[in-house]
């Protein structure tokens, strides 16, 4: 998408230079690069130089700091919106603005709760030559809810059977790190036969008498709040069988013959297949109508998890996991669709024009779904 800049038929006073700052929405500010000596006397519209992440998870035990810094000449003033409306910091005694910047400091350590300040924030820097706006900053406090109380009955089964021990951790923000240990805080050994799934459950392709124990404990670690919670211990008793009947593989997860998976461009794509059977099945991976990218492919959890680093739209397609043992093989097809937030193909470049000179700003972007491109000047949409 191109934006042409046409000169206005208007006389300019001597020594006055027009400076126009455009924004192409995804949002990216165009900074005018000039000789440092000229910058001393030349007024400039603001440019955002530092801001908090778009998805900003905060520690509820510490003061909230939402960053916004900008440069311009004269120095810009700052204002904020919260959830789309003006955020008047003068009316809240817990909120202050760092001198010389737009950075907000919310003092919740003295009083107040982090949840009160949850929301979508946006900073505007403004001077007499224009304005610049930050990204939308979604502020959310980290959460580590308690485990739901439940009564767990002892599990008794025969040697050779499959078993899934559910974890079902509390939903935290961000999600907790899951691991299984015993009462002595020793990690439970894992193998091709016994492994933890991406959902935190513990899967046994087939159980053995040595799996008998009374202290299978699932732990959830919440890094932001530096807390660890544990599930009630699960008791498992495996009864020895004279002869365990061998069987071909079946999938414990995912269910059925096919499933769907969506991932965002640039993220890590994680696909998982865990099977039961006797003898223990081995997992293989393949991509229909294509090869797995060698430099970006990682196998984890004894080949049960396939990861593709920094996925792109080209990684969309059908992936197959095959579970195989001496008695047979089965496969599951995972249809992967890679979506993409808007990204630059040709980003707008800085543009300096003399009075009366024409100019063109080029803005080309892609994404999945296809993005809508619009232009703003000083934070105001161009009709």
Q: What tens digit of pLDDT does each residue of 143-167 get?
A: 877 777 788 899 999 999 999 999 9
What does the mean pLDDT of the chain come to?
A: 87
pTM of the model: 0.74
Q: What is the CATH number of domain 34-141?
A: 2.60.40.10
User: How much is the pLDDT for 7?
Assistant: 53
| Residue 33: band (very low, low, confident or very high) from pLDDT cuts 50, 70, 90 | low
pLDDT in tens, 347-378: 888 777 788 888 888 889 988 888 888 888 77
Structural domain spans, the chain: 1-30+348-383, 34-141, 155-239, 247-341
Return the ∠ at Cα 163 (arms to 161 and 167), rounded to 5°.
Answer: 175
* 320-355 per-residue burial string, b: 16 or more CB within 10 A, e: under 16: bbbbbbeeeebbbebebebebeeeeeeebeebeeee
DSSP state, residue 314: G
Same fold, 34-141 and 155-239: yes
The better pLDDT of the pair 23, 236 is held by 236
Q: Does 60 score more than 50 pLDDT?
A: yes
Q: How many CA atoms lie within 13 A of 355 on its CB side?
A: 10
User: How much is the pLDDT for 17?
Assistant: 36
Domain 247-341: which CATH number of 3.40.50.20, 3.30.70.80, 2.60.40.10, 2.60.260.20: 2.60.40.10
| Residue 2: band (very low, low, confident or very high) from pLDDT cuts 50, 70, 90 | low
Task: Please state which architecture CATH assigns to domain 155-239.
Answer: Sandwich (2.60)
pLDDT in tens, 238-268: 999 877 889 999 999 999 999 999 999 999 9
Tell me if 68 sits within 8 A of 134, measured CB to CB: yes
Q: How many CA atoms lie within 13 A of 369 on its CB side?
A: 2
């Amino acid at each position: 998408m191109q934006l042409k800049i046409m000169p206005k038929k208007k006389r300019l006073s001597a020594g006055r230079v027009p400076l126009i700052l455009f924004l192409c929405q995804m949002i990216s500010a165009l900074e005018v690069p000039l000789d440092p000596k000229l910058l001393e006397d030349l007024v400039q519209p603001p440019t955002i130089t530092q801001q908090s992440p778009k998805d900003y998870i905060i520690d509820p035990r510490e003061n909230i700091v939402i960053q916004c810094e900008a440069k311009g000449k004269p120095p810009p003033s700052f204002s904020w919106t919260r959830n789309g409306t003006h955020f008047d910091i003068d009316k809240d005694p817990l909120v202050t603005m760092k001198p010389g910047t737009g950075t907000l400091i919310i003092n919740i350590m003295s009083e107040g709760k982090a949840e009160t300040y949850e929301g979508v924030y946006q900073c505007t820097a403004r001077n007499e030559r224009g304005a610049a706006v930050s990204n939308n900053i979604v502020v959310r406090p980290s959460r580590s809810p308690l485990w739901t109380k439940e009564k767990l009955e002892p599990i008794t089964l025969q040697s050779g059977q499959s078993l899934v021990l559910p974890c079902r951790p509390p939903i935290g923000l961000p999600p907790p790190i899951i691991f299984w240990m015993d009462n002595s805080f020793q990690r439970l050994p894992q193998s091709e036969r016994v492994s933890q799934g991406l959902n935190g459950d513990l899967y046994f392709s087939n159980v053995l008498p040595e799996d008998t124990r009374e202290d299978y404990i699932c732990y959830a670690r919440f890094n932001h709040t530096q807390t660890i919670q544990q599930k009630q211990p699960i008791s498992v008793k495996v009864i020895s069988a004279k002869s365990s009947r061998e069987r071909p593989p079946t999938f414990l997860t995912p269910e059925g013959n096919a499933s769907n998976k969506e991932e965002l461009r640039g993220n890590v794509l994680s696909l998982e297949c865990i099977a039961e059977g006797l003898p223990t099945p081995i997992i293989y991976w393949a991509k229909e109508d294509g090869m797995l990218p060698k430099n970006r492919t990682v196998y984890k959890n004894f080949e049960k998890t396939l990861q593709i680093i920094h996925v792109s739209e080209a990684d969309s397609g059908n992936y197959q996991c095959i579970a195989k043992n001496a008695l047979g093989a089965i496969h599951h097809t995972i249809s992967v669709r890679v979506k993409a937030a808007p990204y630059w193909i040709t980003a707008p470049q800085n543009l300096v024009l003399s009075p009366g000179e024409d100019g063109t700003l080029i803005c080309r972007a892609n994404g999945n779904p296809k993005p809508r491109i619009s232009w703003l000047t000083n934070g105001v949409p161009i009709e």
